[in-house]
Amino acid sequence: MTLDAEESLQAQISAPYTTLSPDQRKHRLQELATVFFKLGTVAFGGPAAHVAMMDDEVVKRRQWMSRENLLDLIGVTNLLPGPNSTELAIHIGYERAGWAGLFVAGSSFIFPAMVLVWILAVLYGRYQSVPQVEWLLYGIKPVVAVVVIQALWKLGKKAAKDTPTIVAGILAIAAYFAGLNEILMLLLAGIGVMLIKNRQQLGPGSGNSRANMMLLPFSGLLAQAGSTTTAAISVGWASVFLFFLKVGCVLYGSGYVLLAFLQRDLVEQNQWLTSQQLLDAVAIGQLTPGPVFTTATFVGYLLAGHAGAIAGTVGIFLPAFLLVGLVNPWVPKLRRSRWASGFLDGVNAASLGLMAGVSYTLGRAAIIDVATVIMAVLSAIALFHFKVNSAWLVLAGGLVGLGLYLAGIIS
């Protein structure tokens, strides 16, 4: 390819969606659908692994945006309720193709997991058991742990840009292992870095300029309001939709937080499910690729059949689409503000610190014997030296797990 052709291609890649011809717009949407459908099919390992794979695809391989831009989106996403990695996919879709891209990217990322969980829910409804696929996770987890470490290395070099952000990241790691509230840690890191970087402007008369300097999460009070008892009514698809819509609006955290939320409302208060059914639902969500929040698909099917599966999925993910669409246009404006930029720097550094804590936990759970050590080392060589696509490595890890299972080496 000539230099002029490369420049023309790069210009087309970075061109605003509104300036493209109808054919170019269609092509961009198809690209989004292809990339995020692939990620949704192979993205095992939870949000940290999902972010790592998106960084590899979107920044490194396709150059759709800079790593700094991706970091800003990660920081903002961490301040919103709902499934973080899905919201990041939705953000990227919006950046590439506006509202159309928002729905295409998000739906494509969710769809593979939703369909797989839906199928497993139907089988579970018939046989009342969860499939045993430990061999799959045995092969995939070491690869995922290395993928996350690679993303941490790349993103960390951008996030740790000075002493305040380095300190924020270290404190976030300590907070993770101390079990402190993640959202509180992100806010404190953002505010701390913001104040340190703008300390010279702190003085008499500066109060008005600080009034609108930050983007803060607005759902703290909503989360308390959302924890009220749901009325015990007959379980139809509409009830399923409304319940999971509430969950999607107010829930921060991982699948374990989702488990606690559903245990309280569905098992203890409404008695719609048994504790065993709920544990099986969360297990299915973690065994399948893509967002763990597709647990709502499984629960929805158990409560109201096929209509319930659709209602639960739409309900829990709909707030993420709407929140991202409302917040994303403000990200560039926040970055141009000295105060908001400092806040985002702090949140970004703390987000990477929390991700480092998660990667340590993933590594301990994944690298448990000689075989997993070998898989982790080979994955690291493939990623760092040969630049192999992380999606192919995850598939290879699954095949290695299958081979060891068939050979009788693991059970």
Q: What whole-number distance in Å separates Cα of residue 343 and Cα of residue 216?
A: 10
Is the pLDDT score of 234 beyond 70? no
pLDDT band at 11 (very low <50, low <70, confident <90, very high): low
Which tokens is 330 given? Answer: 């403000």
What single string gives the DSSP state of each residue in 363-407? HHHH--SHHHHHHHHHHHHHHHTS---HHHHHHHHHHHHHHHHHT
How far, in Å, CA of 310 to CA of 333, rounded?
A: 36
Mean pLDDT of 385-406: 88
> pLDDT higher for 90 or 248?
90
Instruction: Compute the average pLDDT of residues 299-310.
Output: 95
Q: What is the pLDDT of residues 256-269, one digit of tens each?
A: 557 667 877 888 88
Predicted confidence (pLDDT) per residue in 326-338, tens digit? 999 998 888 888 8
**Are 71 and 348 a contacting pair, CB within 8 Å?**
yes
- Mean pLDDT lowest among 100-104, 186-190, 333-337: 333-337
Confidence tier at 218 by pLDDT (50, 70, 90): very low
Look at residue 253 in the predicted model and tell me its pLDDT. Answer: 57
* Short-list 132, 155, 140, CA closest to 42: 140
CA distance readout (Å), 270 to 64, 98, 228, 275, 294: 46, 40, 12, 12, 21
Question: Quick one: CA dihedral 255, 258, 262, 264, positive or negative?
Answer: positive
Q: Looking at residues 134-145, what average pLDDT do you find?
A: 84
Name the amino acid, one letter, at 381. I
Q: What is the pLDDT of residue 36?
A: 97
Is the per-residue pLDDT at 308 higher than 60? yes
Provide the terminal-to-terminal Cα distance of the chain, rounded to the nearest Å: 50
Other beta carbons within 10 angstroms of residue 356's beta carbon come to: 20
How far is the C-alpha of 150 from the C-alpha of 135, rounded, in Å?
24
Q: How confident is the model over 166-181, as a mean pLDDT? A: 90
Residue type, 404: L
pLDDT above 90 (res 125): no
Averaged pLDDT, 204-222: 43
Whether 3 has a pLDDT exceeding 60, the answer reads no
Using a pLDDT cut of 70, give the percent of the chain over it: 86
Q: What is the mean pLDDT of residues 192-204?
A: 82
Give the torsion through C-alpha atoms of 192, 329, 63, 18, to 10 deg: -170
**pLDDT at 255 exceeding the cut of 60:** no
Query: What pLDDT is stored for residue 256 in this prediction?
Result: 53
Q: Is the dihedral of CA 317, 319, 325, 330 positive or negative?
A: negative
In the predicted model, what is the mean pLDDT of residues 377-400? Answer: 88
In this structure, are residues 11 and 63 in contact, taking their beta carbons and an 8 Å threshold? Answer: no
Alpha-carbon span 359 to 361, nearest angstrom: 5
Inform me whether the pLDDT recorded for 203 exceeds 70: no
Distance between CA atoms of 264 and 190, rounded to whole angstroms? 32
pLDDT for 245 equals 94
Q: What is the pLDDT of residue 210?
A: 44
Q: Which amino acid is at 401?
A: G
pLDDT of amino acid 14: 76
Other Cβ atoms closer than 10 A to 371 = 17
Please give the structure tokens belonging to residue 82: 């709902």
Q: pLDDT tens digits, residue range 342-354?
A: 998 998 898 888 8
Spatial CA neighbour of 247 closest among 307, 311, 196, 193: 311
| CA dist., res. 280 & res. 303, Å (int) | 14
What pLDDT is attached to residue 202? 66
Highest mean pLDDT out of 121-130, 331-340, 390-399, 400-409 = 400-409
Computed over every residue of the chain, the mean pLDDT equals: 84
Q: What is the pLDDT of residue 46?
A: 79
Dist CA 302 CA 217 (whole Å)? 33
Neighbours of 4 (CB within 10 A): 8
